[in-house]
Structure 1
Amino acid sequence: MNAGSYPASPRADFLGALAWIAFGALIVVMSWQMDRFAAQGATPHTYPGLWPGLVGGMLAALGGILALRSLGRARSAGWQAGESDDTEIVAPSRFALGAGLFFVYALLLVGRGLPFWLGTALFVTAFVFLFQRAQRTADGRAARGIVVALVCGGATAAAVTVVFEQLFLVRLP
């Protein structure tokens, strides 16, 4: 489904970039201010603010890249120039399905008595299966879609559980 062209001016991109830079910087500052639990023997790679700070830094860096891109476009075409965008827009039903799956995962599967690894495996399996179902059915590979979804769910659950429990020393529900 192609919803048509959406002109994006360099000015709009630049203002969006400034917002992402500010948001990323705010995350970095707040992460830096978090307690590091050094008195309890925490190591630098287990500080609670480390990973949010890295994500905030990445958001700010990507905002900087967007700002540079918009400045380049403004230099060549002017601040008000728009461009066509032929990006496929996601159908509202697919968005609702994704949002629904995220809410089920966050509100019902994790922290409600179900082990984290099992909730994560169920979520990823359902997500992959439901979002690839139409394509796999059209290709005549519906059975393979179930196997791929199960492998993705199991591998993701195992990897996330091992990384958080062994590397970050986080006890998962």
Structure 2
Amino acid sequence: MNLQSKIRNVQNFPKPGIGFKDITTLLGDGDAFKFAVDTIANNLERLGGVDIIVGPEARGFILGTPVAYKLGVGFVPIRKPGKLPSEVESYEYSLEYGTDILEIHKDAIAPGQKVAIVDDLLATGGTVAAASKLIEKLGGEVVSLQFLIELDFLKGRDKLNGYEVNSLVHYSAE
């Protein structure tokens, strides 16, 4: 299935010069959504075992939860500060113009658990690299990073050396 044809490209959103990859059109197509989830789950099954799926806020929730369901494993959200109700572990990371913070419940990942991160988009790689470090801080082993879309021209994969990375749709230019 040609998933790229199911993704709407919205020019100049959220600001001028950006071509936003809108996955709501793919999500609204039951066959395309099922194909994407099944393909990611099949990729992870080939690894020989994942204990838990982690999804960064917010579109990682949309893709990660059905993948976790299909694999019969749990799902853990990684969120922005102040969104989780129990004790959290935080990780601060650099952005192009400043810093950001991600949080996860301290008891969400057990030491030695095999973790796959599922998200909608790999752009510059900063968020998923930070999520990986946060999981490792809790003792988890990041065994795979799975994305619906990768913006190859932003070279986010370069920040993820040492991780298994898979993306279903690639864009080589804006």
TM range (shorter): under 0.3
Q: TM-score, normalised by structure 2?
A: 0.24
Normalized per residue, which structure has more strand?
Answer: 2
Larger Rg belongs to: 1
Q: TM-score, normalised by structure 1?
A: 0.24
